[in-house]
Structure 1
Amino acid sequence: MPNLSRHSVSVTAAVFHEDGGVLAIKRRDDGRWVPPGGVVELDESPEEAVVREVLEETGVMIKPEVLTGVYKNMVLGVVSLTFRCHVIGGAPRPSDEAVESVWLTLDEVRDRMPEARGIRVLDALRTDGPFVRIHDGTSLI
Structure 2
Amino acid sequence: MLLYMSNANREGRSMSLHSVSVAGVVVREDGRVLVIKRADNGAWEAPGGVLELDERPEEGACREVLEETGIEVKTERLTGVYKNMKRGVVALVFRCRPAGGEERTSDESVDVRWFTRAEVESHMVEAYAVRVLDALDAGVPQVRAHDGRRLFPADLAAGH
Question: Is residue 2:45 matched to residue 1:22?
Answer: no
- Unaligned 5+ segments in structure 1 are none
Q: Which has the higher Rg, Structure 1 or Structure 2?
A: 2
Identity %: 57
1:49 to 60, 63, 73: 60
CA drift at 1:91: 1.8
User: In structure 1, the residue corresponding to 2:31 is in which secondary structure?
Assistant: coil
Which residue number in structure 1 is paired with residue 136 of structure 2? 125
Which residue number in structure 2 is paired with residue 102 of structure 1? 113
Q: TM-score, normalising length from structure 2? A: 0.86
Report 1:76-95 matches (<5 A).
76-95=87-106
Q: TM-score, normalising length from structure 1? A: 0.97
Question: Is residue 2:146 matched to residue 1:135?
Answer: yes
1:64-90 Cα offsets, whole Å, 9 max, x none, are 000010000000000000100000001
> 2:58 is aligned with what amino acid?
E
Q: How many residues align?
A: 141
Greater percentage in strand = 1
> 1:133 is aligned with what amino acid?
R
Q: Kindly indicate whether structure 1 or structure 2 has the higher relative contact order, using CA contacts under 8 Å at least 6 residues apart.
A: 1
> 1:54 is aligned with what amino acid?
V
Question: Is residue 2:53 matched to residue 1:32?
Answer: no
Which residue number in structure 1 is paired with residue 158 of structure 2? none
1:69 to 80, 102, 105: 80
CA drift at 1:128: 2.3
Structure 2: distance between partners of 1:129 and 1:115: 20
Which residue number in structure 1 is paired with residue 69 of structure 2? 58
